[in-house]
Amino acid sequence: MNLDVNTLFLVTIYVEAILGLLLLFAWVQNTAIYAVAWWGFADLMRAASIMLFGMYGSVSDLISIDLANAILFTAFAVTWTGARVFDHRKPQWILLFSGAALWLALFRIPAVQASWDLRMLLSSGIITSYTWATAYEFWRGRSEPLVSRWPAIFMFFAHGALYLLRTPFGAMLAPVNNQVFASVWITVLSFEALLFTIAIAFILLAMAKERTEYRHKTDSLIDPLTGIANRRAFLQDAEAQLKRQATEPRPMAVMLLDLDNFKGINDRFGHAIGDRVLQMFAEVGSGCMRRYDIFGRLGGEEFAALLVDTSRERALAVAEQIRASFVEVTGMVEGKPVLATVSIGVVISYDAVLDLSALLAQADHALYRAKDNGRNRIEIASIELILDRVKRASAAADRAASAKAAAKSAASAA
């Protein structure tokens, strides 16, 4: 069955226009992802360029070749720019129009204008460059766990490679009687472009949707002020780590970290400075953690950390690094002598017997000992510490009961 290139051109125009409008409509529904708008405009520009290509022979070559190619190259450049914007990189305005400018400049050279092979080489090179640049931009952002990113990378790379092969194939399948549309290669290229357009539009939409869902998920697990794990995320990740430890027990450390006299900082310097102090502590703590350690904000000025495969000595060294660094960085906060400090309670677990709540309870005993001993210090949990804390709590309860009984007796006597 023969494929009519004119029919393919007409179908491609409709498809490109519809997909462009679909992408723009999707962007209107979620304007936070600007890349979708770039991709929508790119499809509309390709529809316009293909429409001009289809007018070959009925209008001047200035419109059907020069202008059509300039719009086509810019469309691929807009797709590349959308990939940059998707991963929060700025548009490169000069490069955005460089392909079209290069084409219009070189096409004025008589040797290029007269040579089918040179024109095909030039146009293929420009499109391949932008297409591979798009694949590279998606590759650069691969640290974000979006599954749909990978088929996008593959398709853009493959599409660029096909365009790169356009020159040798074009030489073998040259125009018949100098009629561009009589070339078998143009038919093949048009059909491939149609399939690519449909597939990549849906992949890009899937990427935008996946990005939105991923952000909704991560936002529910990230503390908005400090940018680290919130209480829910910390407890969830720590529990998962403890389950992994059950199969192969290794020493680990759990820390509770509480900023000293934080209410006084807010009262003295204002809540803006207080928020900045919390952010600085999160930065200090995160900087002292390894990639697989867990660090999060439990709420207010209280933070927690879980250090995997960590000895007592290393846990204390990390805690001291956090304590000393925090004092140093808060010496001056936005011109204010804050000098904030932190108290840290540490517990070391050598097996998988204790659950997370028990470990946090022990770390809490150590933290209170650090507070009772003057703050800005580190205490490590021990049986003696826990017994001492229980003894103090029992004594306090006894005193409260005695005071209540005395008050009751006094009231009865009166």
Q: What pLDDT is stored for residue 232 in this prediction?
A: 92
pLDDT of residue 183: 54
**What integer pLDDT is reported at residue 209 of this predicted model?**
92
Cα 78 from chain centre = 22
Please list the pLDDT of the chain residue by residue as tens digits (414 residues).
455 667 777 888 899 999 999 999 999 988 888 999 999 999 999 999 988 888 877 888 788 888 999 999 999 999 999 999 999 999 999 999 999 999 888 878 888 777 777 888 888 899 999 999 999 999 999 988 899 999 999 999 999 988 777 656 555 554 544 444 445 566 666 677 788 889 999 999 999 999 988 888 777 889 989 999 999 999 999 998 888 877 777 889 999 999 999 999 999 999 999 999 999 999 999 999 998 899 999 999 999 999 998 989 999 999 999 999 999 999 999 999 999 999 999 999 876 656 888 889 999 999 999 999 999 999 998 655 554 555 665 666 667 666 666 666 666 665
pLDDT of residue 290: 92
Q: What is the pLDDT of residue 113?
A: 76
pLDDT at residue number 410: 60
Say what the pLDDT of residue 185 is. 60
pLDDT of residue 246: 73
CA-to-CA distance for 15 and 298, rounded, in angstroms? 51
- DSSP 8-state secondary structure symbol assigned to residue 306: E
- First and final CA of the chain: distance in angstroms? 112
The answer to whether the CB of 344 falls within 8 A of the CB of 303 is no
How far is residue 240's CA from residue 356's CA, in Å, rounded to a whole number? 10
pLDDT of residue 1: 45
CATH fourth-level superfamily of 231-401: Reverse transcriptase/Diguanylate cyclase domain (3.30.70.270)
Q: Which is it for strands 378-380 and 294-299: parallel, antiparallel or unpaired?
A: unpaired
| Rg (the chain; Cα; Å) | 33
The CB-based long-range contact list for 111-117 (8 Å cut-off, 24+ gap) reads: 116/170, 116/174, 116/175, 117/167, 117/170, 117/171
Q: What local confidence, expressed as pLDDT, does residue 187 receive?
A: 66
DSSP state letter for 174: P
According to the model, what pLDDT value does residue 165 have? 76
- In the chain, domain spans: 5-219, 231-401
Closest CA to 76 of 196, 165, 214: 196
